[in-house]
Structure 1
Amino acid sequence: MTLAASMQSLVQEYLNERRSLGFALGISGRQLMAFARFADQFGHCGPLTSDIILAWARGQATRSTPITWARRLEVVRPFAKYRARIEAGTEIPAADIFGRAHRRLTPHIYTETEITDLVAAAGQLSPQDTLRPATYETLFGLIAATGLRLSEALHLRCSAVDLDQNQLTVRCTKFRKSRLLPLHSTVTAALGRYVEVRQRYVVANPDAFFFVSPSGAALKDRTVHHVFEGLRTTLGWTARGTHPAPRIHDLRHTFICRRVLLWQEQGADIDNAMLALTTYVGHTKVSDTYWYLSGVPELMAAAGRHFEQFASDLGENGHG
């Protein structure tokens, strides 16, 4: 008698095939494995069913929301389609059971005070006589100052940080593209201070990760989020967006929005400037950068002021 394959082995088989075709499947791969563990622990056997998929999608967290369920369902459906070609009786839940998976949620746009407080609080992390405070102080400061994705910051190598030329090289990012980022002199100075502290604890190596733990190991994404959540709680922020709480990724939203606000104040050609900003933040299309701006109250207010001025000018010129 042949034992039924575990869901984890089936998911791994699927991931191996997809990755052999060039798909990274980083986050979605981890989520699929989480689903597989859930199904195995539940004791599920036989073809995939809508019941087991929807049970995992809904999850057990009290703060889970329909948009979270929809995104989990979005992760499992390609796997279900793959299994349907192999195993008769496999069920594929409809994509819209929980509504749209990608809905515009308003980000938390940080104030200058909030960013300053975050960096300062990170610098006070314990233990004080280690590399840890300097690492998080510089990491969060760099993301706020450049709009880097957290994954890009964590994957920076020492050789990518050129303090003499005031620039960073971000290699093989989300869309397998590399880019060169000019830095403001204050950012370079902060990175230089971190390098000095880092050298006291970790042996210099051009190929090593730039941001490391006190042991010299690379920082893990979930560890950084845990530290950020602790700082967020300590600082007592109130979310101004539609996410439950301010996020690290909102620093990237803030960078883009504040950059555009500054250009508006300076009277810059926004269309041309947006093309440069798209390249700087690593987007493939300018529409992706504009997506970061929609629904942000500060920008909507600025747009309203510009329209009022435009309407006033029309009236004064006799075109009312």
Structure 2
Amino acid sequence: MSKQGVTHQPAQSPGLLEAIRQRCRVKHYSLRTEQAYVAWVWRFIQANGGSHPRAMGKAEVELFLTRLATEGKVAASTQNQALAALLFLYREVLVLDLPWMDDVVRAKRPRRVPVVLSRAEMDRLLTMLDGQTWLMAALLYGSGLRLLECLRLRVKDVDFDRSEITVRAGKGNKDRRVPLPQRLREPLQQAVSRVRVLHAQDRAAGVSGVWLPQALERKYPNAGLELAWHYVFPAMRLSRDPSCGVMRRHHVDEAVLQRAVQMARKKAGIDKPATCHTLRHSFATHLLEAGYDIRTIQELLGHKDVATTQIYTHVLNRGGQGVRSPLDG
């Protein structure tokens, strides 16, 4: 969970920051959330001359958030992330449920119409990709996956017989099922075959397998060595698990696909500010254009509220929500 404006923490953190890490792990927060919360608390302390948070309150929190917006010019989502980190600090780490906490106003996030590519633009973009990056980008568009949902895909979660993919622990820690495009069956089978070879090499070399959620690792300590749990898109190099220091086989870094999509966008002559997430927006919009009902699309996207899905009705290729201009009459 990384946002613009978060600075890196120092090499040697005070005990308070270590307490935040430990509490995040007890609450089973992601590593990104943990890193972001630690960075924001450190930045809050530094902004107030090194004072301990116990000695500060609503005035300091609001001034810090105001400066982020006025001087740092951060987005509302970044400002809200900083507030979430500070509320976590006071409530979960310092165990102080102070009256002013509920009165701190969250920044209102502007409602933006998402960037969507047309079908022709999608074809041009995918044509400029090849190999693994093509397959990952095609999954973002063809199955409506988020970037990290695609990268964290495990071999066991691709069901070729049922032509579906199970997304595990998506946003909001929810599972859901999405369609496996027929066009991607063979490329995905080939990807699994490559993982099978890499898995055999890792087993022969004594590699510790892949990362598993803590509860699963305790219950099934050897599951991380099984092929079923390996990532469909593994990194070529081993990396050290920051939570325990063990060398493991992780999934490919997200920057690999992000850079590839940006290069493909430029080569395809697409001037829209398209990103990996744009492919998911295009998936939803093109399903609406094809006549699928919004509730079905809500389930496929994993949205908690249908109001979130309804934003795509504003970008359908019908002009002004289906209204015909009188000039064309």
Residue type matched to 2:306 in 1? Answer: V
1:1-320 correspondence to structure 2 within 5 Å: 9-14=15-20, 16-17=22-23, 20=26, 22=27, 24=29, 27-39=32-44, 44-47=50-53, 48=56, 49-50=60-61, 51-55=63-67, 64-68=73-77, 70-79=79-88, 81-82=90-91, 86=96, 94-95=104-105, 99-100=107-108, 102-123=109-130, 134-196=131-193, 203=200, 205-215=227-237, 217-235=250-268, 237-239=270-272, 245-263=273-291, 273-290=293-310, 292-296=311-315, 298=317, 301=320, 303-304=322-323
8 Å Cα contact 1:28-1:75 kept in structure 2? no
Greater Cα shift, 35-44 or 144-153: 35-44
> Following the alignment from structure 1 to structure 2, what is the Cα–Cα distance between the partners of residues 300 and 27?
40
Aligned residue identity for 1:30 = Q
The answer to whether the 8 A contact 2:113-2:314 is kept is yes
CA offset at residue 196 of structure 1? 4.8
Q: Which residue identity does 2:105 align to in structure 1?
A: A
CA 1:214–1:105: 2 relative to 1, 3 Å:
same
- Structure 1: runs of 5 or more not aligned: 1-5, 124-133, 240-244, 264-269, 309-320
Amino acid in the other structure paired with 1:238: D
Q: Deviations over 1:7-34 (max 9, x none)?
A: 76435434544653x4636654332222
Residue in 2 aligned with 1:3?
none
In 2, Cα distance between equivalents of 1:250 and 1:81: 36
CA distance in 2, matches of 1:84, 1:217: 34
Post-superposition CA distance 1:149-199 (Å, at most 9, x none): 222212211111122332212223223332333323213233234345555
Following the alignment from structure 1 to structure 2, what is the Cα–Cα distance between the partners of residues 230 and 80?
40
Instruction: Give the 3-state SS of the residue equivalent to 1:113 in structure 2.
Output: helix
- 1:176-224 deviation per Cα after TM superposition (whole angstroms, max 9, x unaligned): 3323333232132332343455556664922100112233631233454
Distance, in Å, in 2 between the alignment partners of 1:277 and 1:87 is 40
Distance 1:301 1:118, change over 3 A: same
User: Taking structure 2 as the reference length, what is the TM-score of the superposition?
Assistant: 0.66
- CA contact under 8 A between 1:169 and 1:180: conserved in structure 2? yes
Matched residue SS, 2:170? coil
SS of equivalent to 1:206: helix
* Residue identity in the other structure for 2:231: F
Once residues 236 and 41 of structure 1 are traced to their aligned partners in structure 2, the CA distance between those partners, rounded to angstroms, is 45
Question: Displacement, 1:236?
Answer: 5.0
- For 2:306 and 2:258, the matched residues in 1 are separated by 28
Flag the 1:164–1:59 CA change in 2: closer, same or farther, 3 A.
farther
Give the RMSD, CA atoms, in angstroms. 3.9
| Cα offsets for 1:279-303 (capped at 9, x unmatched) | 222233333322x415325255453
The answer on whether the counterparts of 1:122 and 1:231 sit within 8 Å (CA) in structure 2 is yes
Q: Kindly indicate whether the alpha-carbon contact (under 8 Å) linking 2:68 and 2:74 is maintained by their aligned counterparts in 1.
A: no
Cα offset for 1:261?
Answer: 0.9
Between Structure 1 and Structure 2, how many residues are aligned? 271
Higher Rg: 1
Distance 1:224 1:113 in 2: 21
SS at 1:250 equivalent: helix
Question: SS at the partner of 2:314?
Answer: coil
Q: Say if 1:167 and 1:183, in contact at 8 Å, map to a contact too.
A: yes
Equivalents in 1 of 2:319, 2:94: separation in Å?
Answer: 47
Measure how far apart 1:114 and its partner are. 2.8
CA distance in 1, matches of 2:254, 2:18: 22
**Distance in 1, Cα, partners of 2:104 & 2:259:** 34
CA contact (8 A) 2:140 2:146 kept: yes
Matches of 2:70 and 2:25, distance apart in 1:
27
Displacement of 1:147 after TM fit? 0.5
